[in-house]
Structure 1
Amino acid sequence: MSAAALLSPSAPLPYSGAITDVAGIEVGHHTDPRRPTGSTVVIARDGAVAGVDVRGAAPGTRETDLLAPGNFVQQVHAILLAGGSAWGLAAADGVVRWLEERGVGLDVRFGRLPIVPGAVLFDLPMGDARIRPDAASGYAACDAASTAAPAEGNVGAGAGALVGKLFGVPHAMKGGIGTASVKVGGVTVGALIACNPLGDVVHPDTGELLAGARTDDGTALRDTRRSLLRGDVPRPLLAGTNTTIGVIATDAVLTKVQAQRLATVAHDGLARAINPVHTMSDGDTLFTLATGRVPLGEEAPGMTVLSVMAAEVAAQAVVRAVLAARAVTTAELAIPAARDWPGRRAAA
C-alpha cells in the first residue's frame, strides 16, 4: 500500500508492530497540556545492554559516555527522550526517582542507582518556550509506562516536533513520534523514533515525499534536496534547533560492542527516510537496548540480519511518526500534518 493511501485524516494507521513487542520493554509518554512538548521513557526494569551513536553535529544528551564498550557500566534501566532542548534533560531526574522508588538500578552498596541515558530535541518554537519537560514530566511518563503499543504522533517527545525547517519554521510540517517492529528467526527488533529533523521525510521504499518544507505560498512540498541542489538559499539556522532521536530495542543477547554497532547501523534507516539528515543543525542520536530474552542460537539471526532489521524499523518508525501526526496551531504558527493536508505532492 502506498503512503498516500494511508493518509486518511480519520483512519488509524495499520499496525506495524511496536518497540514494546520486544520482551522486557515498557514505554510511557507524558504530554504537557500547556504547549506541545513532553517526555517519553523506554524502561527495561531488569536492565538491558545498551549502545549509542550520535550522528548529528548538535546533540543534547545525557550519560552517553558510559555506554562506550570499554566503560564500566554494563546495563541501563531506561532511556529518556524529551522535548525542550537541553532544558528537557531535567526530565531524566524524574525517571531516576521513579525507578529508585521501585528498587530498580545498579547496586552501589549505598542504594540502587538507576542508569538513565537520554537525548532531547528542540521544540521551542511551538508555544511558550518557557514551558519545558522537567522531573515531574519524566516521572509522569514512567507512571504511564506499559507493555502496550505506545501512542504515536503528537505525544510525548514528539508533541512539538516539526519536519522540513530549512526554509523557515512557518513553512514546516508536523513531526511526531512513531514505532515499528520486525521479527526474524524468533528475535524481535523494534524502534521508537521522535522525528524532528531539519530535512524532509520520504518513504524509504518509493522515495515519495511525505512531509517537509513547503513552498513559499504553502500549497505544495518544495523538496528540500532538489531545492538545495538547484541553488535555493536556505534560511539562517541555529545549531541544535532540529534533531531526530530514538531507541532501537531487541530481545537478542548482545555485548556492548554489538549494541553500539546496532545503534550505528540503525542510522541507515534515518538516512533512508530523512533527507537531508545528520546536519550541523541536527543532534540525531539513537540508543540501543538489548534485553537478552532470546539467546542467539544457531537458528537465530546474526549481527548482519539484526543490522538490517534495525535500519528497517528505524525507517518505518520515522514514516509512522509523520503519518500519525496531527496539525497544530499556536498563537504564532499554523503547522499542517501530512494526513490532513492536501498539498502533499512536491512542487515541480
Structure 2
Amino acid sequence: MNLFAHPEFSGAITDVPGIKVGHFTETRRPTGCTVILCEEGAAAGVDVRGAAPGTRETDLLNPANMVEAVHAVLLSGGSAFGLAAAGGVARWLEERGHGIAVGPIRVPIVPAAVLFDLPVGDHRIRPDEAAGYAACEAASADAPAMGSVGAGTGATVGKLFGMELSMKGGIGTAAVRVGGVTLGAIVAVNAVGDVFDPGTATVLAGTRNPADGRPRSATAAILRGERPPFLEAGTATTIGVLATDAVLTKAQCQRLAGAGHDGLARTIDPVHTLWDGDTIFALATGRGGKAGDMMLLGVVAPRVMAAAVLNAVRAAKGVPPSPPGISELIQAS
C-alpha cells in the first residue's frame, strides 16, 4: 500500500479545530501569500533547515523565550519583500482584538516565511501589507484551494538545471485523524529539487528532459556525469505549517516542526540545499483537549507533510510563459 496516497490523508489543515486558511493570489503576476489563522492563540515552534531562509518572528518561538502563543503564520511569495505582508495580517488581527495583552494594547504575533518567486513575471510586484490583510479577509475553515494559488502561485520546482527546464510547483494540504487527535499540513513547494512520489519512486514534477519536456531526476542526471549550471543562492525555498488540536508545549511544537522536514526529505530530492530556505512551523491549538503523543505525531507528521507536497504539485497549473505544471503534462499524456 502506498501510505503517501492513502485516503486517510485526503483532508486539509483546516480539519484542525481553531485553524483557518486564506489565500491572496496576485492577478498582475504569479505571486501571492497564504495565511494560517489561529486567532485565539496556539503554541508554536519552527525548524529552519535550508541555507537561505527569509523569516520573521522565529526567534521568539525558541522554547527558552517568553512568548507562549502565536495568532497566525504567514507563507508568502516575493522573497524578502514578501515579509511586508505579515504587517497586514497583524493589522487585521489587532482590529479584531486578537493578540498578547500589553496593558490596553493587543500585540498579534505573526511569524512568517517567504519563498523566492521573483523571476516569474514583473519582480516589482510582490505581496505587501494589503495582500496579507486580504488573505485574512478570505480566510475560512473550509478546505483551501491547492495548486497555483496563494503562496504557491509563482512556485517552481526542479531548478538544478536552470529555470528554463523547471516545472510549476504550488501549495498543497493534507490531514489525518489518528489517536484521538487531528494533524494537518499545508506547504508551498518551490524547491530547487525534484518532487517524487516515495511510494512509487516516480518523479512527478522537476527538472525536465530537454529532449521531450518530461520530468526526470536531476540527481540521476548528475550521477550520469551531467553538470548543472551555477545557481544564485536563495532562489527557491519550500515553506509550510503543521497544525494539531492536541495540547503541546513550545518544545514539543519545535520537535513536530522537525518531523515535518522528514516529509520534505521523503518527497523532494535534493532538499535543504544552499539555495533553499526550507522552513516548517508547527501549531498546537489544544482545542481537542488531549495531550499530544509525540511518538505518534512524530510517526504521522512526515506522511501528512509528504501528502501535502504531492497534492501541491499535482494541482499546480502552468501560467504562460512560466514552466508547465504536472497537471498539464498529465492532461497531455
After superposition, residues 183-222 of structure 1 pair within 5 angstroms as 183-222=177-216
* Matching residue of 2:254: 260
* Matching residue of 2:32: 38
* Matching residue of 2:118: 124
Per-residue CA shift, 1:187-242, capped at 9, x if unaligned?
Answer: 00000000000000001222111000012234222311111222211111111100
Q: Which amino acid aligns with 1:290?
A: A
SS at match of 2:23: strand
* Distance (Å, rounded) in 1 between the aligned partners of 2:114 and 2:215: 27
* Matching residue of 2:299: 308
Q: Which amino acid aligns with 2:190?
A: N
* Matching residue of 1:329: 320
After superposition, residues 1-348 of structure 1 pair within 5 angstroms as 16-296=10-290, 302-330=293-321, 333=322, 335-341=323-329
Query: Is the Cα–Cα contact under 8 Å of residues 171 and 216 in structure 1 kept in the other structure?
Result: yes
1:130: Cα distance to partner? 0.4
Per-residue CA shift, 1:38-68, capped at 9, x if unaligned?
Answer: 0100000110000000000000000000000
1:110: Cα distance to partner? 3.8
SS at match of 1:45: strand
Query: Is the Cα–Cα contact under 8 Å of residues 338 and 344 in structure 1 kept in the other structure?
Result: no
Per-residue CA shift, 1:117-161, capped at 9, x if unaligned?
Answer: 000000111100000000000000000000000000010000000
Q: Which amino acid aligns with 2:28?
A: R
| Aligned structure 1 segments of 4 or more residues deviating by more than 3 angstroms | 342-345
1:295: Cα distance to partner? 3.0
* Distance (Å, rounded) in 2 between the aligned partners of 1:290 and 1:15: 19
CA 1:14–1:308 in 2, change beyond 3 Å: closer, same or farther? closer
Per-residue CA shift, 1:16-48, capped at 9, x if unaligned?
Answer: 100000000000000001000001000001100
1:344: Cα distance to partner? 9.6
Query: Is the Cα–Cα contact under 8 Å of residues 55 and 83 in structure 2 kept in the other structure?
Result: yes
* Distance (Å, rounded) in 1 between the aligned partners of 2:16 and 2:300: 13
* Matching residue of 1:10: none
Q: Which amino acid aligns with 2:189?
A: C
Identity of aligned residues (%): 62
SS at match of 2:192: coil
* Distance (Å, rounded) in 2 between the aligned partners of 1:217 and 1:277: 25
* Distance (Å, rounded) in 2 between the aligned partners of 1:296 and 1:44: 18
> How many residues end up aligned between the 2 structures?
331
SS at match of 1:341: helix
* Distance (Å, rounded) in 2 between the aligned partners of 1:14 and 1:290: 20
Query: Is the Cα–Cα contact under 8 Å of residues 49 and 291 in structure 1 kept in the other structure?
Result: yes
* Distance (Å, rounded) in 2 between the aligned partners of 1:317 and 1:246: 9
Per-residue CA shift, 1:294-325, capped at 9, x if unaligned?
Answer: 2336xxx6111111221111100000000001
Query: Is the Cα–Cα contact under 8 Å of residues 9 and 304 in structure 2 kept in the other structure?
Result: no
Query: Is the Cα–Cα contact under 8 Å of residues 221 and 344 in structure 1 kept in the other structure?
Result: no
1:265: Cα distance to partner? 1.2
16-25 or 231-240, larger mean C-alpha shift: 231-240
* Distance (Å, rounded) in 2 between the aligned partners of 1:344 and 1:52: 39
Query: Is the Cα–Cα contact under 8 Å of residues 163 and 200 in structure 1 kept in the other structure?
Result: yes
Query: Is the Cα–Cα contact under 8 Å of residues 161 and 194 in structure 1 kept in the other structure?
Result: yes
* Distance (Å, rounded) in 1 between the aligned partners of 2:250 and 2:199: 31
Q: Which amino acid aligns with 2:299?
A: V
* Distance (Å, rounded) in 2 between the aligned partners of 1:342 and 1:63: 40
Q: Which amino acid aligns with 1:273?
A: T
Residue ranges of structure 2 left out of the alignment (5+ in a row): none
Q: TM-score, normalised by structure 2?
A: 0.96
